[in-house]
């Protein structure tokens, strides 16, 4: 994850999973162990470890037409989706007899799948929203509509920009200065393209995308039979371009110190003039809130000024387009296909639209995530597996503590504070301690768009209700059926969903060293996020508080700077390099996570030696499992978008993390002069 979410919501690992899988209704791995057939022995491990571990697989694998990227992690997502859809269909068939939640799940899925009803209804379900926009007669009414649209329906993996009609986004989480209370965080929003760079970058490639986006806006308006579509599209795009110019760049949004701006509600009128904030906050049900944390302060000021300076008619056109765009997947087929033609084909390079049932599973999980998750863990996550993961987590926490003790550059007082933070770490395995209650959410069979609108409003109200309530450290931000994991630095908590904790990531039928190379590195990655360049700024209570000595912090930042330089040197394309600063937090977590997992594996042996397997030593098994866990092919447009917008480095370079560990060099006899070789003094060891 990136920006504010890295500190408040969390950092996702964006994990891939090692080994090949068969894709069936309840698939099992084809093999239990390393994928020997996927290794390319023509490549020297020291030249390109990712290509060595995965090269033959890369040569022989095609990305499915409905995906922008593909890897064994994507296959596991498919397996999980097939399991989930069977559970949803079972809930649909027997929901009334099983439970009210099962009825909700079945009705939501059925409404999304009922294409005939959606075609018949046309734009009628959207007419109330469009009528509210059409009725805007002055700037106060504009502020009221903008405020009423404020939501917390964020993409859990991309928190910099809200991609709909929300010019601002809201997140409710622990206050950075007072972690005993919840704060309301206000963020920049309002763009239809993935990032400000898509509007401001002068390259021919980005210019072509901008032209296609403006054409897409016009096509959407024409599908809705809106007059003068081309001229309106030009004005809408121009407004978004102005919004983008006000936005903070990604790297600035990553800076927790820059983002932690405390504003009283009365300050908005003078600090961000233009928007009628009284009307806005009242419509957003925030008029009783005395203060906010404004993350990208100058962006809020700039966007607010645009509310006053840009023509009212343009704002109404902008809101009309984004209302349709936001609802596209719940509208007739023509809108779905046009949305995909731009967002799927142009932005990600994906040739074919995903099957509707897959999109229905995603949408059902978005609206009723923990209700679906409850069904998933009952069927697919046993107490024995939960206990096995918890034992691995315990080993990793112990190993991390030992690494802290052994740091020769860190002062005793800094070590003490670091150990205090490690001791308060709350690790959630599989599923949350308590499940969310969806009884207040109305789901109606035959009302696909209404269902998602009510689900978004339900989630918004759930977050508003946290303001003034006690902090709940047990809250999860991922569902159990999510193939991922996350660190919540302010909460000092980790979530490891059930769907990531299954073969082949964790497989009792293979040597345990392979589990440490894949799942262990993931767990270590998430633990390390509490101590990366930004997570390290928070103390054991979650307070933004520098607990480092001046000398220790300088050493830590010097090591981080070396890692920035290391990743800046990776260049997937002649015209585009990895941004070492943008990806720094994730790169620190990769290096530290892999190192601590290796230590934890050694601890798990209790002084005993481990056997060779599949022709490889235990150490080789560990590093190969790690490299195969990042196996992925990705289309060029999607990779370019990821490099610009994502705080995670591309998979190939995450696998190259091994070059910073001494044990990798001896395991594969890596020599000076080889492509990945780093002299001992150049290997970055942050923790």
**What is the tens place of the pLDDT at every residue in 140-178?**
999 999 999 998 854 433 333 444 558 999 999 999 999
The whole-number average pLDDT for the span 440-453 is 97
Q: Which residue has the tokens 């079945």?
A: 106
Helix, strand, coil share (%) of the chain residues, nearest 5: 55, 5, 35
Sign of the CA dihedral running 70, 73, 77, 82: positive
Predicted confidence at residue 150, as pLDDT, reads 93
| pTM for this entry | 0.90
Q: Which two tokens stand for residue 411?
A: 């002062």
CB atoms within 10 A of CB 646: 22
**Average pLDDT estimate for 523-542:** 88
pLDDT per residue over 399-418, tens digit each?
A: 999 999 999 999 999 999 99
Q: DSSP label at 542?
A: S
Confidence grade of residue 489 (pLDDT, cut at 50, 70, 90): confident
**Which domains, ranges and CATH numbers included, belong to the chain?**
4-17+38-82+367-450+471-682 (3.40.390.10), 123-330 (1.10.1380.10)
Report the helix count and the strand count for the chain, using DSSP H and E.
31, 10
Report the chain's mean pLDDT, rounded to a whole number: 91
What's the confidence (pLDDT) of residue 356?
Answer: 97
Answer whether residue 2 shows pLDDT above 50: no
Q: Quote the CA–CA distance of 294 and 300 in Å, as a whole number.
A: 8
Q: What are the backbone dihedrals phi and psi of residue 407, each rounded to the nearest 5 degrees, phi first?
A: -70, 115
pLDDT at 16 over 70: no
Q: How confident is the model at residue 95 (pLDDT cuts 50, 70, 90)?
A: low
pLDDT, tens digit, 9 for 90 and up, residues 17-63: 333 333 333 344 446 899 999 999 999 999 999 999 999 999 999 99
Cα distance between residue 391 and residue 542, in whole Å: 25
Rg (CA), the chain: 25
Q: List the beta bridge partners of residue 172.
A: 184
- Between residues 687 and 624, which one has the greater pLDDT? 624
Alpha helices in 8-138 (DSSP H): 49-60, 72-98, 100-113, 115-121, 127-134
Q: What is the pLDDT of residue 15?
A: 43
């Amino acid at each position: 994850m990136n920006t504010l979410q890295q500190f408040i919501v969390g950092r996702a690992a964006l994990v891939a999973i090692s080994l090949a899988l068969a894709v069936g209704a309840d698939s099992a791995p084809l093999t239990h162990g390393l994928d020997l057939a996927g290794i390319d022995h023509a490549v020297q491990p020291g030249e390109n470890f990712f290509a060595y571990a995965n090269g033959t697989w890369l040569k022989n694998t095609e990305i499915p037409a409905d995906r922008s990227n593909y890897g064994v992690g994507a296959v596991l997502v498919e397996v999980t989706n097939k399991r989930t859809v069977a559970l949803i269909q079972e809930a649909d068939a027997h929901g009334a007899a099983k439970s009210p939640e099962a009825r909700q799940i079945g009705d939501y899925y059925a409404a999304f799948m009922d294409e005939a009803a959606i075609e018949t209804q046309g734009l009628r379900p959207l007419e109330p929203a469009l009528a509210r926009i059409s009725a805007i007669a002055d700037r106060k009414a504009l502020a009221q509509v903008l405020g009423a649209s404020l939501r917390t329906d964020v993409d859990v993996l991309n928190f910099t920009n809200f991609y709909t009609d929300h010019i601002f986004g809201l997140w409710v989480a622990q206050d950075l200065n007072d972690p005993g209370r919840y704060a309301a965080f206000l963020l920049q929003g309002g763009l239809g393209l993935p990032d400000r760079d898509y509007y401001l970058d002068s390259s021919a490639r980005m210019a072509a995308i901008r032209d296609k986006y403006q054409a897409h806006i016009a096509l959407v308006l024409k599908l809705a039979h809106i007059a003068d579509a081309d001229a309106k599209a030009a004005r809408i795009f121009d407004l978004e371009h102005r919004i983008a110019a006000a936005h903070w760049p990604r790297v600035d949004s990553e800076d927790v110190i820059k983002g932690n701006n405390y504003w009283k509600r009365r300050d908005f009128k003078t600090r961000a003039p233009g928007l009628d904030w009284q009307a806005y906050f009242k419509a957003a049900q925030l008029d009783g809130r005395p203060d906010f944390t404004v993350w990208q302060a100058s962006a809020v000021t700039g966007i607010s000024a645009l509310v006053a300076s840009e023509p009212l008619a343009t704002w109404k056109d902008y809101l009309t387009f984004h209302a349709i765009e936001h609802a596209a997947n719940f509208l007739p087929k023509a809108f779905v296909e046009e949305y995909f033609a731009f967002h799927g084909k142009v932005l990600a390079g994906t040739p074919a639209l995903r099957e509707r049932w897959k999109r229905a599973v995603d949408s059902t999980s978005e609206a009723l995530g923990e209700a679906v998750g409850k069904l998933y863990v009952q069927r697919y996550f046993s107490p024995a597996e939960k206990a096995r993961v918890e034992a691995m987590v315990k080993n990793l926490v112990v190993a991390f503590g030992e690494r802290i003790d052994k740091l020769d550059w860190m002062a005793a007082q800094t070590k003490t504070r670091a150990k205090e933070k490690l001791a308060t770490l709350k690790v959630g395995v599989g599923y949350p301690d308590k499940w969310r209650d969806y009884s207040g959410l109305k789901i109606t069979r035959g009302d696909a768009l209404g269902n998602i609108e009510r689900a978004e409003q339900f989630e918004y109200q759930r977050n508003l209700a946290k303001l003034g309530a006690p902090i709940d450290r047990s809250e999860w931000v991922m569902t159990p059926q999510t193939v991922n994991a996350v660190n919540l630095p302010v909460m000092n908590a980790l979530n490891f969903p059930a769907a990531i904790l299954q073969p082949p990531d964790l497989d009792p039928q293979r040597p345990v060293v392979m589990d440490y190379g894949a799942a262990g590195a993931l767990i270590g990655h998430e633990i390390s996020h509490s101590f990366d360049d930004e997570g390290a700024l928070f103390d054991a209570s979650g307070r933004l508080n520098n607990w480092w000595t001046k000398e220790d912090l300088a050493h830590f930042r010097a090591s981080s700077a070396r890692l920035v330089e290391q990743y800046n040197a990776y260049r997937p394309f002649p015209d585009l390099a990895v941004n070492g600063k943008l990806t720094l937090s994730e790169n620190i977590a990769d290096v530290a996570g892999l190192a601590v997992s290796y230590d934890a594996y050694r601890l798990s042996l209790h002084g005993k030696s481990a056997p060779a397997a599949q022709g490889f030593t235990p150490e080789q098994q560990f590093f190969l499992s790690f490299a195969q866990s990042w196996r992925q092919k990705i289309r060029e447009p999607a990779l370019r978008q990821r490099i610009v917008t994502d705080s995670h480095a591309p998979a190939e370079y995450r696998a190259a993390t091994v070059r910073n560990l001494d044990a990798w060099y001896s395991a594969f006899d890596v020599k000076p002069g080889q492509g990945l070789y780093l002299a001992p003094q150049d290997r970055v060891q942050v923790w």
